[in-house]
Amino acid sequence: MLELKNIRKTYQLGGQETIALENINLSFNRNQFVSILGQSGSGKTTLLNIIGGLDQYTSGDLLVEGTSTKTFKDKDWDSYRNTTIGFVFQSYNLISHLSVLENVKMALSLTGVSTKEAEKRALTALDEVGLSEHAKKRPNQLSGGQMQRVAIARALVNNPKILLADEPTGALDSKTSIQIMELIKRISHDRLVIMVTHNPELAEQYSDRIIRVADGSILEDTVPVNVLNDSTEKFTKSKTSMSFFTAIKSSMKNLLTKKTRTALVTLAGSIGIISIGLVLALSNGMKSYIDDLQKETLSGIPLTISQTSAGNFDSMTESPDKNNTNQSSNEITIKEPITTHQNIYNEDILGNGETFIDFLEREAKGKYSNLTYDTGYQMNVLTKNTNGDIQQVKKEAADPSNPASMFSMGSLFAKLPANGENILSQYEVIASENKAFTYPTNQNELILFVNYDNTLNKDISKALGLSSEETQDAQQLLGKEFRMIDNDSFYEKSPVGNFFINQVIDERMYDNGLEAKIVAIMRPKDATATLISASLGYTEQLETKMLAKEKDSDIIKFMKEHPKTNALSPSNDEIDEDTHKSIMQTLGGDTSPTNISIYPSTFDEREAITKVIGDYNRQIAKKFGKNSDDYTKYMIQYTDMAEMMTGMMTTMLDTITVILTAFAAISLIVSSVMIGILTYVSVVERTKEIGIMRALGARKKDITRIFNAEAGLIGLISGIVGVMITMLLTIPINSIVSKLIDMDGFNASLKPEYGLALILLSVILTLVAGFIPSKGAAKKDPVEALRTE
Ligand code: ADP
Ligand code: MG
């Protein structure tokens, strides 16, 4: 069944060729017990390894059941070792971290036998060598003879046709040796046994045939085989393959035998994951804080569309023109200045009979709590100071010698949105004439707004005609009266020219004014309130009433008749259309809005409104073309202060997150390298095991698979541990943040998809790190691997 034809084996050592075997011609029949005798170094082991397919011959041929092995590929040799050959070694070569039973089962794990079947067959094999009751023990709990029996059981479990034993009794005492010899003799009744020994007595006593080897050549063959008795059976190449599950199980076992080390490496590996996870969780927490801020605190801030818009911050900062490739240093290109954008919302641009305002009111209906139009109308207001003197309520012009006065130039009066929802979300009533008061709705109701810290600026106090005392009784301020003076009472035509002059401010003018009084004092709930920058809030009803009067006033009529004359100035200089419009707006003769404020009450409403504006602009783009000048001219630009505030925060946060993640990634790389080193150490430690597995028929691929599985497993555990620790750490972090810093809505948490991604990343990185050592393990020469201790 086995023929060696002219086998020659040489080793290349330091450029020098050593001949280990030469001119070997041997034939073997089944059910023989053949002993190979010879001195140390004569080539016995080499011969056995070549027969067993563990080592390859240099020239000649080895025929198995008449099949030449010349064309055998790696996988054919693997299958040959797994199905046809059983190996028994002098040093037993059992895997110490596996039980006796698992050692025996290992050969079966390569053939795809089910676990149950493998267990049954392994137990049968152990029974045959008389060790079934020791199945659960570890190899080092057995005596030498027992260990060799386990090795024999392992060699027999696949029912190979050939059993190869390399000095199986070399490490045993003579009594035990005899027992092993008896066992091998029994085995040889139904298979070919080739045994290397240097004990001639044992060979004489037990074997059917003795082959003597000296210096790599055959010296004597007691029963040479001339006629092969086996042409009926053919060698069939079958496939061995270790299932992925088996590989995982094997590496899991190995990891479990080194619990402390595995735990430490896993912890080290998880540090990288934890650091990235924490950065992501914290940034997520900040994002949720910003979202919260946007949703709750900032959602009441109106979107504004002004007659003249400066656009967004983006368009306000000049960015270099990327298309301008002319970078030559001796040419200077003149370019257009950044211009403000005129929003045209009062004209039918689309040609469908609808202005932008019509469109907005129709499309955004129900998506806001307030929609207010500022008209630009500036009321002339009188009040009496504490001495009873009548004074006009107006801010003094900024003092050019005091630059700080420029900052307090905000207007004194502001029209309040009709619906109190937005104002009341930011402001609270601190004093009111009527206890049941919530929000002004009548034309004669005014609200005094004071600062967050209950202060009122001195210039405002003066303008309102309050007493000069340092502290004021809030109740005393309630009921303070103001008179709104219409144009006809305030201005009169100059007798000397085409302009109007102010009438004398007196008791008569005061009495003719429309009465309104402070009914409540309001204060911001916290320092972030931004809705009102004025001090006196009046109702829409008051403005409507006044505008109705102004419409037919003399000065308005005059302005309409003389569109090029400024009625408020004695100068004869002609004015342009824009100036005319703005004067008319100030006087209340042109009520077209200077500013549209849309107050959403929720974040979703804000989104919906921006979408409405976007839809309008898309229609403009469709009509005029996206790149046309008309599009740029007619599109509507809005300002979203809330978006600008949170947008900047988000950009900053994203930048910080990227930087921190990069730092955290370094620790991840360090831990990956560590796992690579560990895999390498593991390969070195398990070199012998690799040799054994190869002898049992494991493919290179299977070896790679085992070490990849080990690295992957560490990566998986590190990843899971890392993600879990991160999640646990977010609990104290959140409680510390909420206790120490007042950040409502801050909630650090690792998003599940990020958690999964991190685990995956951990597995991938450790697989990459373990790849080279795993490949190295597979490349190990099985003969050399077996020789290592
Ligand atoms: P035995 O088993 O009879 O003691 P071996 O078969 O182990 O002898 O060795 C036969 C000869 O081949 C020896 O000279 C040995 O040094 C040499 N040899 C065996 N394996 C190798 C190897 N891997 N590299 C180089 N020389 C080797
Ligand atoms: Mg030897």
| 315: confidence class by pLDDT, cuts 50, 70, 90 | very low
Atom 20 in ligand 1: residue holding the nearest Cα? 46
Would you state the structure tokens that stand for residue 127, as one six-digit string?
């029974």
Report d(CA 555, CA 576) in Å as an integer: 18
Ligand 1 centroid, distance to 140 Cα (angstroms): 29
The closest residue, in CA terms, to atom 1 on ligand 1 is 41
Q: Is 8 helix (H, G, I), strand (E, B) or coil?
A: strand
Strands 192-197 and 162-166: parallel
**CA 558, CA 565: separation in Å to the nearest integer?**
9
Average pLDDT over residues 558-563: 92
pLDDT for res 746: 82
| pLDDT higher than threshold 90 for residue 550 | yes
- Which amino acid is present at 27? S
Question: What is the Cα 30 distance to its own chain's centre?
Answer: 64
Residue nearest to ligand 1 atom 26, measured at CA = 11
Minimum-distance ligand 1 atom for the alpha carbon of 18:
26
For residue 217, what are the contacts with CB-CB under 8 A and spacing of at least 6? 21, 22, 23, 24
- pLDDT of 129 > 80? The answer is yes
More confident residue, 28 or 321: 28
Give ∠ CA 381-385-391 in degrees, rounded to 5. Answer: 40
pLDDT in the model for residue 318: 47
Ligand 1 midpoint to CA 178 (Å): 27
Q: Which residue's CA lies nearest to atom 7 of ligand 1?
A: 45
CA of 42 to the centre of ligand 1 (A): 8
Q: Is 89 helix (H, G, I), strand (E, B) or coil?
A: coil
pLDDT at 201 over 60: yes
Helices (H), 207-341: 244-257, 259-292, 313-316
- In this structure, which ligand is nearest to the CA of 16? 1
Rounded Cα gap, residues 74 and 81, in angstroms: 11
What are the structural domains, with CATH classification, of the chain? 2-240 (3.40.50.300), 254-297+645-787 (no CATH), 376-591 (no CATH)
**Ligand 1 centroid from CA 38, angstroms:** 13
Mean per-residue pLDDT, 450-479: 87
Predicted confidence (pLDDT) per residue in 144-167, tens digit: 999 999 999 999 998 999 999 999
- Average pLDDT (307-312) is 68
Strand partners, 447: 520, 537
Structure confidence at residue 741 (pLDDT): 75
The Cα–Cα gap between 322 and 759 comes to 41
The model's pLDDT over 65-101, given as tens digits with 9 standing for 90+, comes to 888 999 999 889 988 998 899 999 989 999 888 899 9
pLDDT for 561 beyond 60: yes
The answer to whether the beta carbons of residues 177 and 195 sit under 8 Å apart is no
CA distance 253 to 95: 11
Q: How far is the CA of 7 from the centre of ligand 1 (A)?
A: 15
- Would the CA dihedral through 727, 731, 732, 737 be positive or negative? positive
The amino acid occupying position 716 is L
Query: For residue 185, how far is its CA from the centre of ligand 1 (angstroms)?
Result: 27
**Measured in angstroms, how far is the CA atom of residue 44 from the centroid of ligand 1?**
8
Q: Which residue has the tokens 């259309």?
A: 577
What's the gap in Å between 196 CA and the centre of ligand 2? 8
* Alpha carbon distances (Å) from 2 to 59, 184, 558, 697: 17, 19, 126, 19
d(CA 464, CA 394): 8
* Cα 46 to ligand 1 centroid, rounded to whole Å: 6
Neighbours of 16 (CB within 10 A): 7
Round to whole Å and give the CA distance between 722 and 268: 10
Instruction: Report the alpha-carbon distance of residue 169 to residue 164 in Å, rounded.
Output: 13
DSSP element (H, E) containing 427: strand 427-432
- List the residue whose alpha carbon is closest to atom 17 of ligand 1: 20
User: Looking at ligand 1, which atom is closest to the CA of residue 49?
Assistant: 6
Cβ-in-10-Å burial (0-12, 13-18, 19+) of 655 comes to exposed
Q: Which residue in this structure is represented by tokens 């039980």?
A: 99
Average pLDDT over residues 651-658: 87
CA distance 323 to 689: 66
Of all atoms in ligand 1, which is nearest to the CA of residue 213? 3
Q: Any idea which ligand is nearest the CA of 781?
A: 1
Mean pLDDT estimate for the chain: 87
* Element spanning 128, H or E: helix 115-128
Pocket test for ligand 1, best of 7, 10, 11 (most atoms within 8 A of CB): 11
**Which residues lie across from 519 on neighbouring strands?**
none
Quick check: 442 pLDDT over 70? Answer: yes
Which one of 212-216, 255-259, 404-408, 593-597 scores highest in mean pLDDT?
212-216
pLDDT tens-digit profile of 666-715? 888 888 888 888 888 888 888 888 899 888 888 888 888 888 888 899 99
Ligand number with the minimum distance to the CA of 49: 1
Task: Convert the pLDDT of each residue in 536-547 to its tens digit.
Answer: 999 999 999 999
Q: Are 8 and 59 in contact (CB under 8 A)?
A: yes
Give the closest residue to 532 by CA, choosing from 629, 451, 623: 451
Ligand 1 atom nearest the C-alpha of 40 is 4
Q: What is the mean pLDDT of residues 180-205?
A: 93
Instruction: Give the Å distances, CA to CA, from 545 to 267, 487, 492, 515, 539.
Output: 75, 13, 21, 11, 10
Atom of ligand 1 nearest to the CA of 781: 23
Q: Label the pairing between strands 16-28 and 2-13.
A: antiparallel
Identify which of 19, 46, 58, 218 to mutate to test ligand 1's pocket (most ligand atoms within 8 A of the CB): 46
Q: What is the DSSP string of 596-627?
A: EEEE-SSHHHHHHHHHHHHHHHHHHHHHH-TT
CB atoms within 10 A of CB 113: 18
Pocket, ligand 1, Cβ cutoff 6 A? 11, 13, 18, 20, 38, 40-46
Closest ligand, as measured to the CA of 90: 2
What digits encode the pLDDT tens for the residues 14-46? 889 999 999 999 999 988 999 999 999 999 999
Angle between helices 100-109 and 144-156 in degrees, nearest 10: 20
If you take atom 22 of ligand 1, which residue's CA is the nearest one? 11
Identify the helix (H) or strand (E) that includes residue 769: helix 752-779
Nearest Cα neighbor of 537 from 441, 676, 452, 667 is: 441
- How far is the centre of ligand 1, averaged over its atoms, from the C-alpha of 96 (Å)? 27
**Nearest-atom index, ligand 1, CA of 13:** 25
C-alpha span between 456 and 329 (Å, rounded):
56
Nearest-angstrom CA–CA distance, 110 and 693: 9
pLDDT value, residue 486: 95
Number of residues assigned to the chain: 789
Mean pLDDT, range 172-186, rounded to an integer: 93
Regarding predicted confidence, which is higher, 340 or 669?
669
Q: With pLDDT > 70 as the criterion, what percentage of the chain qualifies? A: 93
What ligand has the least distance to the C-alpha of 787? 1
Give the residue-averaged pLDDT of 566-572. Answer: 88
Rg, the chain, Cα only:
48
